[in-house]
Chains A and B, each alone.
Chain A
Amino acid sequence: MPVLWLVIAVLLLAAAGYVAGRQRALTSAGNDPRDLHSLPSYYGSHVFIKTAVPALIAMMLWLLVQPLVIESRISNVIPDTAISADTTRSLVMADVRRVAEGLNLAVNQGAMSAEDAARVRADTTDVRERLGEVGIALGSDVEPYVLQAAQSYRALSAAMSTWMTLFVAALAIAGCAIGLMRTRKDFRARNVVEAAILALLMLASTIAILTTLGIILSMLFETRNFFQQYPWHDFFFGLTWSPSFSGRGGASQLGIVPLLWGTLYISFIALLVAVPIGLFAAIYMSEYASPKARAVAKPLIEILAGIPTIVYGLFALITVGPLLRDYFAQPMGLGESASSVMTAGIVMGIMLIPFVSSLSDDIINAVPQAMRDGSLGLGATQSETIKQVIVPAALPGIVGAILLAASRAIGETMIVVLGAGAAAKLDLNPFEAMTTVTVKIVSQLTGDTDFASAETLVAFALGLTLFVITLGLNVLALYIVRKYREQYE
């Protein structure tokens, strides 16, 4: 791993710079640390930062850009004739990369000399067999142009790696030298080091924004690709979801409506379970339960929140689903399927109980005691106080909590993957298997379909839709909750 060695080398140099910088500062002050502007370790850290940070940042940027440059150079080498109807440039590029990797591996294992690898020709050697020996299996014989491209790929990346090493090393050495040169006893090392640390802290805090940006951009980009292949109105208003499995487009119908219907139906049932139970549990625990009962019941219910969703999924699959089928759906003649809207909805509702109850609990506790006193002082019973004073006062907060729970339900994946089924249907029968947006994202992206096809890209459009819906709900809910909090602060 040359990159790893490079990092270690830079860090070693930086460590040496630390020692040297510290020593130099002390010497300049006649070995009396009191004459220094900052503590000696700051002078060391200053040199360390000057050495390591620019070099490592440069290296990271280089590593990000290098593959892009190589790709664009190499794909120019591939003749247009090679891009036929049944293949695309990116597929050929994938072949090129595999061959190049195979050659590298062969050289590393000693199965080929470096010169052999650079000279090998498709018409004289069976490249496929030789690569097969080192464990790189190729689907077909290597075309001459692929081999040629792979060889220039190797040459180019080797050259660029060398350049990068040189560049990074030069930067580190220069940084170290500049840092040492500036080290004098009057130099304000602490201020410089602290400014650098502050910059690092700021950099860290931008990651949150970068993540959001990454989510939005990656999905927007692929969604645009999708809408170039598939009309957007058919996607948003289509009533049928039936992707073709050939992966070669044309016959697929990719309408989001049945998926959204399934998502909303299941979420609705989940909320129907979670909201009353969660709300009543919160009311009971904050208004009625003795401190002892509360100390037992509250953590027990919150355990439900800590259980991973895959566990709920399995619960739906092996327990709730068969139970509902055998005791409700079949006797009533409503369906034969264990996975159904009801199964997923009920289990998801259980998952959301602690979510609703702990949020509502917080919100109900935020209602001032004076409200309760005022109502009880007039002779209201506790339930009248709760129904007519506390809940109305807490209503905005509770609505916020329910919206957050709804957003959870809409974005939930594992429970519906295991409990709801895979058939996209527009149906009212809750004992029928239906499917959701999240289920289809998983199934479209985990299959063996071609990554550039509409059947795969539709997952990004689904993801973006999901993201927009949940984001809207979250923003609204957080806004309501925040406003509510301000009211009683």
Chain B
Amino acid sequence: MNDMRFTERAVVEDKKIAAKGVQVYYGSNHAIKDVNVDILDKTVTAFIGPSGCGKSTFLRCINRMNDTIDIARVEGDILLDGEDIYDAKVDPVQLRAKVGMVFQKPNPFPKSIYDNVAYGPRIHGLARTKADLDEIVEKSLRRAALWDEAKDRLEQPGTGLSGGQQQRLCIARAVATSPEVLLMDEPCSALDPIATAQVEELIDELRERFSVVIVTHSMQQAARVSQRTAFFHLGELVEYGETGQIFTNPEDPRTESYITGRIG
């Protein structure tokens, strides 16, 4: 485990999301059991754990993507800046503008690169003029480190890009709505190592402006990009803390087993 270099930047102790006693059921299946977690602002938080442990399910709770699954039911409170996002008065549409999401497989829309990035600002009405929109698109593409590659082909379809470029396009698309939190569901699992490295570097940059939550299969990746790590196992949050501490000195034996490769 030599390549685990722990980031040693100062962590801002500013609570962005607070989850209290979250339970998720898929039909009769109890997928998330009583999870309590505080996610900090301007921090990269990694969710790790064996597949099927509920880390992606929990991630989808944070911007209420589980609403789109008919049989899913969420209990407990998730507070964003102190407001309960499952409150009846909350519109998931407004919530998702604040809490963006990047998915496992790059899923650019079958539109031009420009339209892909401009999609969010357009539906949320963030740009008043065409110039505004151009600016947002450029800025987002720059943030996603895609501007240099894409600036000459903005009118070409986003589906024509390579896998890594597509994923960065999706990140640019998510960034374009100026979210406060960015959720990433295994953003690198469909990418090759070089593209993965680019995306990881990008995640680190994004931390300056957003709170980033990333679900990952790869412990190395969690160690490389995150400041805090949560370990999920069988729907429970086993351990949550500073990344360095989780990886070097886990408190729970299950965490240790996973990190040393005995379960997973």
Contact = CB atoms under 8 A, between A and B. Distances in A.
A218 interface: no
Interface stretch (A178-186, A313-321, A372-380): A372-380
Contact of A377 (B111, B123, B124, B174): B174
Nearest to A382: B68
Given A379-B177, A381-B93, A389-B109, A374 B123 contact: no
A312 to B, nearest CB: 36
B101 interface: yes
Contact of B120 (A368, A371, A378): A378
Contacts of B109: 371, 374-375, 388-389, 392-393
A291 B110 contact: no
Nearest to B104: A370
A124 interface: no
Contact of B100 (A368, A377, A388, A392): A377
Contacts, number: 74
Contacts of A392: 109-111
Contacts of B70: 290-291
Interface string B89-116: 0000111111011110101111100000
A129 interface: no
Given A372-B68, A388-B123, A377 B103 contact: yes
B119 interface: yes
Interface in B60-95: 63, 65, 68, 70, 93-95
Contacts of B228: none
A194 interface: no
B94 A376 contact: no
A313 B70 CA distance: 42
A379 B110 contact: no
B170 interface: yes
Interface residues of B, number: 29
Given A290-B70, A393-B110, A376 B103 contact: no
A384 interface: yes
B119 A378 contact: yes
A370 B70 CA distance: 17
A290 B93 CA distance: 20
B173 interface: yes
B65 A370 contact: no
Contacts of A368: 107
Given A370-B105, A392-B111, A393-B110, A376 B119 contact: no
A378 B123 contact: yes
Interface in A374-415: 374-381, 384, 388-389, 392-393
23 contacts: A368-B107, A370-B103, A370-B105, A373-B101, A373-B107, A374-B109, A375-B119, A376-B65, A377-B101, A377-B103, A377-B183, A379-B93, A379-B96, A379-B177, A380-B96, A380-B119, A380-B120, A388-B109, A388-B119, A388-B123, A389-B119, A392-B111, A393-B110
